[in-house]
Amino acid sequence: MDCLFCKIAAGEIPSTKVYEDDRILVFKDIDPKAPFHVLLIPKEHIDSAAKIDENNSSIVAHIFETAAKIAAENGLDGGFRIVTNVGEDGGQTVKHLHFHMLAGRSLAWPPG
Ligand code: AMP
Ligand code: ZN
């Protein structure tokens, strides 16, 4: 499958890694939208949050546990945002499940 984030997870395309284990990878977004902007992805290919089901949902818990640790390690005491875009209306450009973690500035709500 020709998937950018599968290739990053496999190490075939370089990334700036923040955290890695056997199931997930966290790396810096190449075009950061905030002073702190990382992407948390499962190594397993999942198209988007619309494809989460009882067989693969444990990865989401693991990703959020890891996000909390990353927040603590990086001193994100002012808060942060985790967002996942789904499909065309959601603004998803890479069709491999990923969670944006943004911090370091006040983030507008609601998003545009
Ligand atoms: P989305 O638009 O929600 O699908 O998010 C895709 C994100 O991937 C964007 O924020 C891009 O800046 C980011 N991105 C695209 N290519 C790369 C790459 N090679 N390394 C790191 N981040 C990337
Ligand atoms: Zn993929």
Q: Is 45 left (phi over 0), alpha (psi -120 to 50) or beta?
A: beta
Instruction: Verify whether residue 98 is a known catalytic residue.
Output: yes
pLDDT at 1: 77
Which atom of ligand 1 sits closest to the CA of residue 92? 4
Q: Does residue 92 have its Cβ closer than 6 Å to ligand 1?
A: yes
Which pLDDT score, from 0 to 100, does residue 7 have? Answer: 98
Question: Is there an atom of ligand 1 within 6 Å of 84 CB?
Answer: no
Q: What is the mean pLDDT of each run of 10 residues along the chain (112 residues)?
A: 95 98 98 98 98 98 98 98 98 98 97 86
Helix or strand or coil: residue 24? strand
The pLDDT score that the predictor gives to residue 112 is: 82
- The predicted model scores a pTM of 0.98
- pLDDT number for residue 105: 97
Residues 37-48: pLDDT tens digits?
A: 999 999 999 999
